[in-house]
Structure 1
Amino acid sequence: MINLQDKVVLITGGSSGIGRAVALQAAAAGATVVVAARNMAKLAQVRSEAARLSGTSAYAYTLDVSDPVAIESTCTQVIDALGHVDYLLNAAGFGAFEEALATDMRTTESMFRTNVLGSMYMCRIIGRHMVENGGGHIVNIGSMAGKIPTPKSAVYAATKAAVIAYSDALRMELRPASVYVTSVNPGPVKTDFFKTANAEDYEQKVDLFAIDPDRLARKIVASFGRPVREINAPLPMAVAAKVYPLFPRVGDYLAGTIFNRK
């Protein structure tokens, strides 16, 4: 188990799913955990459990990452209260499984503001702080959808492809400042994501391949402080993501047929 004693971990989307799982794993490793999300009732539960696991204080902030003013205010409060942020996990996000031409533009804009711009704002503010402090680690949650798009996920896949590309460039820019950047690209994860995406039938169809969020969280926390470029899971999808660019026509066929369970 990695030792995160005296380290501060800031997590967006920390009330549920991957964010919650990482918060509790990091707390178990001794970290001071800061969770941020829109639902304070759920955040309070995570904060309480994190404090119990770490034996130290944990913090919770109400935050809508689609609001840049709120992001700046929350980041300022966290840094003022704790003095430093060592690890940032951008886990806030949502999806909607609809055909591209049927997706309302308000949904499209909201998804980009949350999944992409929210992460960018967080990276910009906390990344600058890490550079000034001489190091740190940013982890952005992408998706296998950003590597292998499938029908009825065009907008979601586009947001996650943007997160992956942004992370790749940011990694190179921040390397000289000893700030690591990792993108995490999971396939289906057993979280409330599918309820938000109105795709509970899809969740049942991919249950055999779905990732346990606690297992993924352990991999993420184990990567803290290490120059890990990507975490891709599950293994069959990680292999498919490598093969897809080499044989795009075959990849399109498989993505639109066998791999399309929506």
Structure 2
Amino acid sequence: MNSRIKGKTIVITGASGGIGEQMAIKVAESGGNLALIARRVHLLQALKEKLTTEYKCKVEVYPLNVTDYEQIPSVFHTILEDFGTIHALINNAGYGIFQEAHEVTFQDVKGMMDVNVLGLMACTGEVLPHMREQGFGHIMNIASQAGKFATPKSSAYSASKHAVLGYTNSVRMEAKRYGVKVTAVNPGPIATDFFSIADESGNYVKNVEKFMLDPAYVADTVVNGLFTNKREINLPRWMNMGSKIYQLFPSFVEKAGNNLFFKK
């Protein structure tokens, strides 16, 4: 439970499943109100019914593909009309495809950049002026450990998450002057349907299954971080330690871990 959330309005993109759905549940448990964004409206409606019945909070759903950039301003305008304010935005929409650089199609590369980076930027751009004006707010961008520590078969996905981290770090410094908090969330592999697209062969899941994070645990950690001054949330801690070692000794890590990295 996060008492700081009670009565506040939280927008979550990619809320129809995975950690997006779990974060919505955690926000509702803490007494927050929710604006849920995703493509799969039937799943959003089912989640809304569950949350309003069990927690008596206000929940509205907004069907949107975050690559429909022209639609994003009107959706956020409607959210502000419905709720009056936005206290936090969790940019969660995203996906990945694990293939070697010469195998991944340009269409898939563009798709990851459109959703993971440009969609996130577009949504952030809609809430920043409002948050700056009210002098309060929190933007949480779901990035990845892959954005800190690139490995084979994830070149395009890692590039998109590197971009998210660069954008997040810059916006954090800009927004701080106006009382707006910005946090990067860097999870390792999570046991969700993410891998039905990212890893069609199933090999990566088999190799890392015992290390996969529970989506409810990730969601709880993220939601507990809302309205705190955390610069980053890194999960699991041991994997983040690996990224720090990589930054210090990249050649050694790439050589020592070469065989392991190719088990995707």
* TM-score normalised by the chain length of structure 1: 0.97
Equivalent-residue separation in structure 1 for 2:78 and 2:69 (angstroms): 14
Q: Secondary structure at the match of 2:227?
A: coil
Equivalent-residue separation in structure 1 for 2:67 and 2:258 (angstroms): 31
State the partner residue of 1:256: 258
Cα shift readout 1:94-149 (whole Å, capped 9, x = no counterpart):
11111112211111111101000000011111111111111100000000111111
Say which of 216, 239, 242 aligns to 1:214. 216
Deviation at 1:50, TM superposition (A): 2.1
State the partner residue of 1:202: 204
Contact 2:38 2:62 (8 Å CA) reproduced: yes
Deviation at 1:201, TM superposition (A): 2.6
Equivalent-residue separation in structure 2 for 1:139 and 1:163 (angstroms): 11
Equivalent-residue separation in structure 2 for 1:52 and 1:130 (angstroms): 30
Equivalent-residue separation in structure 1 for 2:243 and 2:28 (angstroms): 32
Q: How does 1:1-262 map to 2 (within 5 A)?
A: 1-3=1-3, 4-199=5-200, 200-262=202-264
- Shift of the 261–122 alpha-carbon distance from structure 1 to 2, 3 Å rule, reads same
Contact 1:9 1:34 (8 Å CA) reproduced: yes
- Shift of the 202–180 alpha-carbon distance from structure 1 to 2, 3 Å rule, reads same
Deviation at 1:234, TM superposition (A): 1.0
Superposition CA RMSD, Å: 1.2
Equivalent-residue separation in structure 1 for 2:63 and 2:109 (angstroms): 23
Q: Secondary structure at the match of 1:100?
A: coil
* TM-score normalised by the chain length of structure 2: 0.96
- Give the % identical residues: 36
Contact 1:32 1:54 (8 Å CA) reproduced: no
Contact 2:137 2:227 (8 Å CA) reproduced: yes
Q: Secondary structure at the match of 2:95?
A: coil
* Aligned AA (1:114): V
Equivalent-residue separation in structure 1 for 2:80 and 2:262 (angstroms): 43
Once structures 1 and 2 are overlaid, which stretch shifts more, 251-260 or 37-46?
Answer: 251-260
Q: Secondary structure at the match of 1:98?
A: coil
Equivalent-residue separation in structure 2 for 1:250 and 1:110 (angstroms): 33
Cα shift readout 1:42-61 (whole Å, capped 9, x = no counterpart):
11122122223431221111
Cα shift readout 1:226-246 (whole Å, capped 9, x = no counterpart):
111011111221110111110
Cα shift readout 1:127-185 (whole Å, capped 9, x = no counterpart):
11111111100000000111111111000000001001110111111001111000100
Once structures 1 and 2 are overlaid, which stretch shifts more, 242-251 or 153-162?
Answer: 242-251
* Aligned AA (1:74): V
* Aligned AA (1:158): A
Q: Secondary structure at the match of 1:244?
A: helix
Deviation at 1:257, TM superposition (A): 2.2
The number of equivalent residue pairs is 262
Once structures 1 and 2 are overlaid, which stretch shifts more, 227-236 or 41-50?
Answer: 41-50
Cα shift readout 1:17-38 (whole Å, capped 9, x = no counterpart):
1111111100110011111100
User: Structure 1: which 5+ runs fail to align?
Assistant: none
Deviation at 1:254, TM superposition (A): 4.2
Q: Secondary structure at the match of 2:260?
A: coil
* Aligned AA (1:29): S
Q: Secondary structure at the match of 1:184?
A: strand
Equivalent-residue separation in structure 1 for 2:257 and 2:236 (angstroms): 16
Runs ≥4 residues deviating over 3 A? none
